[in-house]
Chain A
Amino acid sequence: LHASASPSGALDKLRTVMQGERATSIDSAIERRFRLRGAPIIHDTIDNETIAINQLTGAYYSLEGPAALVWLLLADGATAGEVGAELALRYTSDDPLQPAVQAFLDELLAEELVVVADAPADTRATASPGLPDPPPERPRFPGLRLQRYTDLEVMLLADPIHEVDETGWPMPLTDQQR
């Protein structure tokens, strides 16, 4: 797919824009490569929305639109810079996209949905199955949003198979029990 070719040009352009002492650290940041965490995180993407579930905590997540695209790119082994460049191909924005990408990746890391990959920077897959084609006209960048749902956490942590109240029904843990 186009993703492995065209982002590099955009990356060069990005680097050209970056001047001075910040360039090294930014280069380092944009070359960070991530991978999806794997178990206990399971995920699927439908209709431009990714659902990810943490099997241990019961927390589940929704990533829509560009956020789902970021997820697919990370699954393909993209670096932070390649993610930003891919988004730039698909969205217009008055502001640089890379800071939003970095913040979003940090959020994914904090939620332990992705991990920093050890692999060298040239190991990205050559194709990105599942990536939708870019739209003919680029819409405005709506931002990257990770929606976290916790409504099932209490029941899962209660472990309905094991934890029941005196009448036998599954019960959430109390604050004291936690």
Chain B
Amino acid sequence: VTPAELVDAARASFAEARRRAGGEEIEGHLAGRPVRLSFAGDHFARLLGRALAVTPGRGGDRPATEMALALHAWDAASTGVRLASGSWAGWTLTPSSVVAELSDERYQVSLEVRGALASILDRVTGDAYHYVPDPTLLPAWEGTHPARMLLAAWARAQGLVTCHAAAVADGDAGVLLCGASGAGKSTTALAALAAGMRSAGDDYVLVEPGDPPRAHALYTSTLLEVGHYERNRRLMPVLDHVADQLDRHKAVMYARGEGAPNLDGGFPLVALVALRVERGSTPRFAPSSAAAVLRALAPSTLAQLGMVDAAGLARLADLCRRLPAYELVLGDDPAPVPDLLRALIAEGGGLRLAATR
């Protein structure tokens, strides 16, 4: 089977699933680009519709050719229709779960979670297919950050850089918060939200290169260790909380509904901030360097998305070269952090403590 034949098969399978089980569509914008999410059955409508930061736009009959992304998602369990792809046996999976023989400059075909999730992207047309045989086999991260490999590949084709980072804004400008898991991205972003700032996400952020670079939301979901959730409960009113996740390791929240943070449109970035937790300290900025921020950003993005190759690293490095770099030392109390961030943003990223470029 060729990638084009696989796309044809996926299109036909999705159409059949839609015919049998029905489904809905969401049309709007993701990172400022027109997108359409089409679902067969209700599993992905619930999942992607809730977790993806698609700003609802006008519905109607815009032609598919106007869409930067036309994502079709279905599962076999609720629709009774499998992806008619033939056997997947014998294909080579890269460390990023990409099927080597079916992927090229135009197509990316990936097979994740030991075959429990397949995705196909046509970078030229923006056509994408996301399929799972049985949603009960999916791990929790697919519920909170669904289709992240597919979306990261799409974003890259769109010239966007997917960062394992948080981004917060005050007024018309913001900063990118970098650090591996546990560095304090979520807590910092939630503290900023609670103080009335905006956020483009606390785990994955799309960055549009340019002068200045702009941050866009990819997901609405926020994850916190349960202990953090309990300690920061007062930060939560801005987020819908999914209570049934609380008995797990992490609390999951989605920025939806009344009072939810503004996730549309994106905002220009004025600085990059590497986060570091230092118990017993008072939160403060410290000088840093572009290289230090790249160290905080690139390896963890690689670990999360598995797709930072030499060109991807060069894009992240270019981002780090463009903006002033700081280290934000986080203490035990996140309360002073929003004012620190506000001061940095108000100065346009030019705090006197000597950011280095």
The residues of A with any CB-CB pair to B shorter than 8 Å are 39, 42-44, 46-51, 53, 55-56, 58, 60, 62, 64, 149, 151-152, 155-156, 159-162, 164, 167-170
Q: Are the CB atoms of A161 and B97 closer together than 8 Å?
A: yes
Please count how many residues in chain B sit with their CB below 8 Å of the partner chain's CB atoms.
41
Q: Are the CB atoms of B289 and A152 closer together than 8 Å?
A: no
Residue of A nearest to B304 (CB): A160
Partner of A156, one of B138, B289, B302, B321: B302
Residue of A nearest to B316 (CB): A44
Q: Let me know if B35 is at the binding interface, CB within 8 A.
A: no
Residue of B nearest to A163 (CB): B139
What would be 7 A-B contacts, judged by CB atoms less than 8 Å apart? A51-B313, A156-B302, A161-B112, A162-B97, A168-B140, A168-B248, A169-B248
- Among A44, A152, A160, the most chain B Cβ lie within 10 Å of the Cβ of A44
Interface of B is mostly: helix
Contacts A53-B313, A161-B97, A168-B140 known; A58 to B295 CB distance under 8 Å?
no
The residues of B with any CB-CB pair to A shorter than 8 Å are 95-97, 112-114, 138-141, 143, 149, 180-181, 248-250, 289-292, 294-295, 298-300, 302-304, 306, 308-310, 313-314, 316-317, 320-321, 356-357
Inter-chain CB contacts under 8 Å: number: 99
Q: Are the CB atoms of B321 and A46 closer together than 8 Å?
A: yes
CB-defined contacts of A168 to chain B, threshold 8 Å? 138-141, 143, 248
Contacts A44-B313, A47-B356 known; A149 to B141 CB distance under 8 Å?
no
CB-defined contacts of A44 to chain B, threshold 8 Å? 294, 313-314, 316-317
Q: Are the CB atoms of A161 and B294 closer together than 8 Å?
A: no
Q: Are the CB atoms of A51 and B294 closer together than 8 Å?
A: yes
Q: Identify the 4 closest CB pairs spanning chains A and B, nearest first.
A: A168-B140, A49-B291, A168-B139, A44-B317
Q: Give complex CA distance A47, B304 in Å.
A: 26
Q: Are the CB atoms of B295 and A60 closer together than 8 Å?
A: yes
Contacts A155-B303, A156-B303, A169-B249 known; A46 to B95 CB distance under 8 Å?
no
Q: A154 CB to closest chain B CB, in angstroms?
A: 10
Q: Are the CB atoms of A62 and B180 closer together than 8 Å?
A: no
Q: Are the CB atoms of A161 and B299 closer together than 8 Å?
A: no
List 5 other contacts, CB 8 Å, given A43-B313, A46-B290, A156-B303: A44-B314, A51-B295, A152-B302, A160-B303, A169-B248
